[in-house]
Amino acid sequence: MSSKLSIHSEEIHGNSLKNNALGDPEDRSVTLIEHNFREDTPILIGLAGFFGTFQSFLNRSYTNMDFLSTLDMIIRRDPDLSFIIALPDTMTGLHGNQYLNSSAVGSYEDFITKDVTGFLEKRYGRRKIGIFGKSSGGFAAYNLASLHPDIFSGFVDVSGDSAFEFCYLKDFPGTYETVRKYGTGKFIDHFSHSPSHTAAELNAMNIIAMSAFYSPDEDEDAGIGLPFRMDNGLIREDIWEKWLEFDPVRNVTSRLENLSRQTAIFQVGNRDEFALNLGIVALSMILDENSIQNTLMQYDEGHFGIDYFYGDSIPLLIRGITQEPEGNR
């Protein structure tokens, strides 16, 4: 089926990534998807989940409705809808991104909020900007929008990391057993040079990467403070407390004023394999309790193959941020 979407890529320089700890490239690709381009067309920045990058949005699927097919469905339903979607390359040497500034990884919050948005403003002029993503991308959409209401007018958080005790703690014992055989730095090297990975190795890489973003420490192996002791696996409470500062259900009450200026949309499957439905529902409930308008959509789904969720949320985000009064920016 032919698409009415205009899709092309451009290169941007990520000044914020200069001299990053992993030696990842500063120059990055950004894929731009346009439909019904107008002077008032909003921009939506899409962020991939962990182990994914901008190309994940472009992959075609023959078992589930993929992202591009979802966009085609959206414009068939509403052919007058106008949008620009920007998908930046954010892959790192840790095989994913949490979109935070970290001494162990790089300044990816700055990359999105300065380099990517600066490029978009230079190319398109100043416009309303929304942000969306799933899993780690959903966490980032909430986090960046709630910290930068001067930049973002709304967000879609699909199954984003939240209620950390439910989505992370269960992987700590297995990660301890896997990583202690190598040490942090040597495990990263082993993972990066292996042609395939066990489920235990994938879980361990994820926890190491979360540690690199939530608890970087230049005095630790690979500059990463793991949340458990390497001699016996027990929780390091000081490190775990650093993690919890990033937990949306714990930091949301300090961001209520910022969120009151946002179009806030949450989506999640009730059978999420990482129990992210618990955090997402709790996050929406906290906003409700504080009279902060938001939309929660729950589906009879798990964590994977759910790009079609965007068929409900992207039109809602576009309408929400374009109808927002100018005084809220």
Residues 273 and 131 both lie in one domain: yes
Residue 181 to residue 233: CA distance in whole angstroms: 12
Domain count, the chain: 2
Q: Dig out the tokens for 225 from the structure.
A: 């403070």
Burial bucket for residue 251 (CB in 10 Å: 0-12, 13-18, 19+): middle
Residues 35 and 181 both lie in one domain: no
Q: What is the CA radius of gyration of the chain?
A: 19
Of 226, 244, 262, which residue is a domain's last?
A: 244
Residue 41 to residue 6: CA distance in whole angstroms: 14
Residues 137 and 203 both lie in one domain: no
Of 244, 259, 285, which residue is a domain's last?
A: 244
Q: Which domain holds residue 62?
A: 6-163+248-328
Residues 117 and 258 both lie in one domain: yes
Residues 198 and 232 both lie in one domain: yes
Residues 227 and 277 both lie in one domain: no
Residues 151 and 79 both lie in one domain: yes
Residue 196 within a domain: yes
How does 219-242 read in b/e, with b if 16+ C-beta sit within 10 Å?
A: ebbbbbbbbbeeeeeeeeeebbeb
Residues 278 and 202 both lie in one domain: no
Q: Dig out the tokens for 294 from the structure.
A: 């938001």
pTM, 2 dp: 0.96
Closest among 77, 53, 280 to 166, alpha carbons compared: 280
Residues 143 and 284 both lie in one domain: yes
CATH of the domain at 71: 3.40.50.1820
Of 221, 244, 267, which residue is a domain's last?
A: 244
At 195, is the secondary structure helix, strand, or coil?
A: coil
Closest among 109, 112, 107, 60 to 86, alpha carbons compared: 112
Residues 138 and 173 both lie in one domain: no
Residues 134 and 261 both lie in one domain: yes
Residue 1 within a domain: no
Residue 194 to residue 77: CA distance in whole angstroms: 45
Residues 122 and 96 both lie in one domain: yes
Q: What is the pLDDT along the chain (329 residues), one digit of tens a residue?
A: 457 899 999 999 999 999 999 999 999 999 999 999 999 999 999 999 999 999 999 999 999 999 999 999 999 999 999 999 999 999 999 999 999 999 999 999 999 999 999 999 999 999 999 999 999 999 999 999 999 999 999 999 999 999 999 999 999 999 999 999 999 999 999 999 999 999 999 999 999 999 999 999 999 999 999 999 999 999 999 999 999 999 999 999 999 999 999 999 999 999 999 999 999 999 999 999 999 999 999 999 999 999 999 999 999 999 999 985 443 43
Residue 203 within a domain: yes
